[in-house]
Amino acid sequence: MTDLTQEEILGWYAELPQHGPHDAGVGHALITMVEPHEGHEHAYNRWYEDHHFFDGALQCPWMFSGRRWVAPWHLQQLRYPADSPVANPVNRGPYIATYWVTKDRVPEHQAWVSSANATQTAIGNVNRDRTHVFTSFQDKIGTVYRSEEVPNDRFTLLDPAAGLVVETIDAPTKEGRDALAAWLLDEYLPSRVTPTGPVDSAMLFSVNPPFSGMKPEVFAVLGNVDGGGRRLTILWFLNKEPLSIWEEHFANEVEQVRAGGLGEVTFVAPFIPSKMGTTLYEDQLRGPAS
């Protein structure tokens, strides 16, 4: 590719958009929860927000929206179950980022990302003082809104919600995931996302295996990110700060989902929007020294 002339490169740019879908909606998400290594929080934050959020995500084709969220120590203490297969220990991963991808454009996006990763590695623009806890390109199944006044989910990351709850649910088998998804979308989520409740919208995704084009150290730790094909993700977008509504609305997800008989809750975690471009919350990620 380095032998291409500028005219040839511009020709490729003009040609590529003529093929494939252009739907201006959420088809997929990249959901990535990360643990910065202790003592490296500030350096990791500045690399992620000043560089990677853009050159590793939003500058890449077909990824059209993004938002970063944070769980200070007091919110980490609300997470459950304690023996979560998603995060071990369950408070790992104080940062999570959510990105929207145009429907059916994940392969094109991933091809670009693979090349971008190689370029960033070659020039040394990589921060390895972090561990990926839960990172996956996921396919949207559907969205439930509390009313017709709530904007379409394509806008969700532009005007951040007061809080985000990330929940994963595993079906008993890979084959049972579709039945679990149908129950969640048709019965469970509508019963929870109500006109007077604290949730504006809830989005349901199926979790995919790790993307092989990720950096090798990232790919290596995400082998079971999809729970063997059994895992679904719910993103609950709140109109209130999570702590203020937790006990009444989110403390009993395990029992409520288990009552449906189709799946088991494997992770529930609240977040608030990060204040990107600042150091806010960097000193609130760790608990009291033992």
Domain ranges of the chain: 23-284
Instruction: Quote the pLDDT of residue 215.
Output: 76
Instruction: Quote the pLDDT of residue 82.
Output: 98
Fold topology of 23-284? Alpha-Beta Plaits (3.30.70)
pLDDT in tens, 209-232: 998 877 788 888 899 999 999 999
pLDDT in tens, 137-196: 999 999 999 999 999 999 999 999 999 999 999 999 999 999 999 999 999 999 999 999
Query: Model pTM?
Result: 0.97
Q: Is the pLDDT of residue 12 over 70?
A: yes
pLDDT band at residue 24 under the 50/70/90 scheme = confident
d(CA 277, CA 290): 31
pLDDT band at residue 2 under the 50/70/90 scheme = low
Q: Give Cβ neighbours of residue 164 (< 8 Å, ≥ 6 apart).
A: 69, 96, 98, 235, 236, 237, 238, 242, 270, 271, 272, 273
CA dist list (Å): 39 to 42, 77, 124, 133: 8, 21, 21, 18
Q: Is the pLDDT of residue 289 over 80?
A: no
Mark out the alpha helices in the chain (DSSP H runs): 6-15, 41-47, 53, 73-76, 106-122, 177-183, 189-192, 216-220, 242-249, 253-258
Q: Is the pLDDT of residue 48 over 80?
A: yes
d(CA 1, CA 280): 42
Q: Is the pLDDT of residue 290 over 50?
A: no
